[in-house]
Amino acid sequence: MLRENQTVSSLFQEQAKKYGDSSCVSFKMNGSYRDISWSEMNDMVHRVGWFLLGAGVRKGDRVGIFSPNRYEWWIADLAALSVGATDVPVYATNSAEETQYILAHAEVKVCFTGTREHLEKVLQVKDRLPKLETIVIFDTPKDRIEGVISFNAACARGEAFGIKSLFDERLKSIAPDDVATIIYTSGTTGNPKGVMIMHKNFMANISQIDMEYSRYLEEGDVFLSFLPLAHVLERIVGYYLPMAGGMKVSFAEDFAHIAQNLAEVHPHIIVSVPRLYEKAHAGILARIADAGTIQRLIFRRAVRAAKKNLTYICNELPRRGLFAMIYNLYDKLVFSKLKAALGMDRLKIAVSGGAPLSVADAEFFLGMGLMILEGYGLTETSTVTNANRPGMIKPGSVGPALPFTDMKISDEGEVLVKGPQVMKGYYKNDEATRDAFTVDGYFKTGDIGAFDEKGRLVITGRIKDIIVTAGGKNISPQNIENSLKNSKFIEQVAVIGDRRKYLSALIIPAFDELKKWADANGIVHAGNRDLIDNDTIRELISREIKENTRHFARVEQIRKFSLMDVEWTQATGELTPTLKVKRRVIEKKYSAEIDALYPEGDSD
C-alpha cells in the first residue's frame, strides 16, 4: 500500500516518537563514532524549525542546503519541511558560480552551509542573491562573520522563539502534494533544471521500495551514508528509507575515507554509484597480483567457484552437494576474508545506481556472495523506477519496474515511465515540463532501453549521447566506455565519433596500475607524461582496447586513441557532481587532441 497521504515531516515525527532514545544516526568525532538518538534529532529539528519561523520563513519559501553529508543536513532538511518550506540541496562540490545559479533561480531565502569553504562560496556571490536574507554555517566559525549565524546559535535562537505552537500548526498544514524539494539536475548540457518533487512522490517511492525489499530490511540495521545527500538516490534510499524503517545511518567522513569508514561501521546496507565497486574490485585484483604463488592459485580457483555461484545467488537458490562444499571452502579461505577486509562482512544489500555498473564488477561481487542490486531512476522520478530483486538478478540489467510503475518503450527506443514517484515538473520552466512528457502523460527519460523476457530493463545509452557516424550509424558510447573500463589499466574514457568516419577515444589510464606494470617491465618513468608517451605503454593500452571491445561490431571498434595525463574531475569541469562525463565540455576542451585523431581526409 502506498503512503501517498503522508508527508516526510509527519513520518519523521511518527518515527521519533516510536524510537525515542534509540540511535537514529552516528557521526565520527575525535576518531570514533558517536550516536544521536531519535529524540535528540527531533529536539534539534524543532529548534531549527522555530529558528526558521523566527527568520520569517513562510510556507512555500525556499531554504538552501549547501553541505557535505552530516547529521545537520538532516536537521536542516527536516526543519525546513516541518515548517512548510521547500528545501533546495546544492552539491557540496559545486563551485561558487554553480551555487549562485541555483540559489538565485530558486530564490532561496535562508541558506545552510556546511564548512567555512562552503560559506565563503556563498559570500563570494552574495551580492547576486537579492532574495537571500539569512546564512547559517554548521561548523562554528572562530571569528564573527557579519550576516552569518552558526548552527548552535540558530538552535539557541530557535529555543527562544516565542510562538512554539506555530511549529505544529505548520506541520499539520502541509499537504502531500506540496513541493518538498527542488533538486537541480547535474546539467551535462546547459544550465540545470529545478526538479519539483512533492511529499507524496517521496512517500510513494519509499513504499514502492519497501514492498519489494522489506524482508531484507530490519529495525536497527545500519546504513553508511556517503553518496551526496543532494543526490536524490541517497536522499531516498540512504535517508528517507532507513528513517521509515527505524534503521540507523552512519555518516562517512568523505569518499576519500570510505574504505576506513566501511571497516569502522560494518554497515548492513550501502548505496553507491559504480565508482566504489570499481575501485574495490581493482584494489582486490591489485593485492592479489602482489601476493605469493600459492595465494594467487587459491584466488584463481575461488574466482572459478564464484562464477559457478552466480546462478545460485542471482536466482536465490540453495547450493547443494559437492559444489556447496567447494564454495564454502573458498568462502572460508577467500571470500569471508575479503568481505571482512572491505568492511562488508555484515552487508545484506549493496545498491548501485546513478550510472551503469559493469557486468564484470557486478559478477565479481555477486559471485563472492555480496548482494549487489543495480537499479535505475532519475531525479525526475524521485529516483527509483526499477531495481534488481533477490531471486531474479541479471547483471547488466536494472531489473523490473517497481510496483505501481508503468513503463514502455517508445517507437524511437526511449524508456517512458508513469507512476506516483514522477515529479510535479520543472521549477519556473513550463516549456521544459511540457516537453518532458508524452501526450498521454508518460515521462520521457531520455534513456534508450529494452525489456527482456522477464520484464527486466536494460539501458543501452542516452539519446543525447548517441553518436551518429559519418556513415549514418547510431552508436551508444556508454556501452563501449563501460567495457573499456573493465581493463585495470583504464580509469576514465570518452568515446568520440559524432559525424566522423570512425570512433576514437580519449583515455586516462589507471596510473597506479600502470606504474606497477611499467616497473615490472623495466620502463623508466619520472611521471605520468613519461608513461603515456612510451610506445610500449601505448601498445599495452591498444591491446586492452581490442580485448575489451572485441564483442562489438566493426563500426563500434576504437580506431585511434589519445592518452591523457590528468584525471577528469568536477573541479576541472569535465564531470558532473554525480561523476557523469560532460561530453560537450570534453569535446570543446580537448578539441586539439581530438582533431589530431582525425587527420586531413579522415573526417567530414
Residue 288 belongs to what H/E stretch? helix 274-289
Query: Which amino acid type is present at position 372?
Result: I
Q: Hey, where are the domains in the chain?
A: 8-184+217-270, 466-596
pLDDT score, position 187: 58
- Number of C-beta neighbours around residue 398 at 10 A: 27
Q: Angle of helix 511-520 relative to helix 274-289, nearest 10 degrees? A: 20
pLDDT score, position 332: 97
Question: 76: helix, coil or strand?
Answer: helix
Within 13 Å, how many C-alpha atoms sit on residue 495's CB side? 27
At the topology level of CATH, where does 466-596 sit?
Answer: GMP Synthetase; Chain A, domain 3 (3.30.300)
190: left (phi over 0), alpha (psi -120 to 50) or beta: left
How does pLDDT run across 39-68, given as a tens digit for each residue? 999 999 999 999 999 999 999 999 999 999
Residue 234 to residues 138, 188, 272: CA-CA distances in angstroms? 20, 20, 8
pLDDT score, position 188: 53
Query: Which amino acid type is present at position 564?
Result: M
pLDDT score, position 302: 97
Where the chain has pLDDT below 50, the residues are 603-604
Nearest to 249 by CA among 217, 277, 216: 217
How does pLDDT run across 106-129, given as a tens digit for each residue? 999 999 999 999 999 999 999 999
How does pLDDT run across 294-332, given as a tens digit for each residue? 999 999 999 999 999 999 999 999 999 999 999 999 999
From 3.30.565.10, 3.40.50.12780, 1.10.357.10, 3.30.420.10, which CATH number describes the 8-184+217-270 domain? 3.40.50.12780
Strands (E), 159-285: 179-184, 194-198, 222-225, 248-251, 269-272
pLDDT score, position 465: 87
Nearest to 51 by CA among 158, 131, 137: 158
Task: Show the cell assigned to 358.
Answer: 559493469
Are 268 and 241 within 8 A, CB to CB?
no
Are 136 and 149 within 8 A, CB to CB?
yes
For the whole model, what pTM was predicted? 0.89
Residue 122 to residues 71, 75, 85, 110, 322: CA-CA distances in angstroms? 21, 20, 20, 11, 63
One DSSP character per residue, 256-316 reads GGHHHHHHHH--SEEEE-HHHHHHHHHHHHHHHHTS-HHHHHHHHHHHHHHHHHHHHHHTT
- Number of C-beta neighbours around residue 241 at 10 A: 24
Are 338 and 368 within 8 A, CB to CB?
yes
- The dihedral sign for the CA sequence 411, 409, 176, 50: negative
DSSP 8-state secondary structure symbol assigned to residue 500:
B
Instruction: Indicate the Cα dihedral angle 250, 251, 257, 263, nearest 10°.
Output: 0
